[in-house]
Amino acid sequence: MRGYAPILLLLLISIGMPLVVWGLSRMLRPSAPNANKYMVYECGITPSTEAREKFSVRYYLVAVMFLVFDVETVFLMPWAIQMKELALFGLVEMLFFLFLLLFGYGYIWAKGALTWE
């Protein structure tokens, strides 16, 4: 059991230290409750609606569009660097990849994510 003493000591310290720090900070902090402190803060703008507002599907389509173009950038750079070594096989694979990205772009366009009304 002596081999487990360091583990037990580490466990006690890892549990005790946060509790001691939390207790000390709770005793030493200034306490001045105010209604303004409990108000929702959004970048200095007074909130005008509820926090749990429903988002339009267009918001998520823009997120998908970001992912489509982010993935495109991540995969095009290494391909461009190794283009000579990959030869025709790499070109065909990249054309297929770009076709899939254009398909995603067309889907986003058809759903109306690119029109800002």
pLDDT in tens, 53-88: 777 777 787 887 888 788 777 888 888 899 889 889
Domain with 60 in it: 2-110
Is the residue at 116 inside a domain?
no
Q: How distant is the alpha carbon of residue 22 from its chain centre?
A: 29
CATH code, 52: 1.20.58
Report the domain count for the chain.
1
Tokens 């200034």, located at residue = 30
Q: Are 40 and 51 in contact (CB under 8 A)?
A: yes
Model pLDDT, residue 47: 67
Cβ atoms of residues 97 and 75 within 8 Å: yes
Residues contacting residue 105 through CB under 8 Å, at least 6 positions apart: 65, 68
* pLDDT confidence bin for 117, thresholds 50/70/90: low
Residue 19 lies in a domain: yes
* 63, part of any domain: yes
Q: How far apart are the first and last CA of the chain?
A: 71
Looking at the domain assignment, is residue 55 inside a domain? yes
**Residue 16: inside a domain, yes or no?**
yes
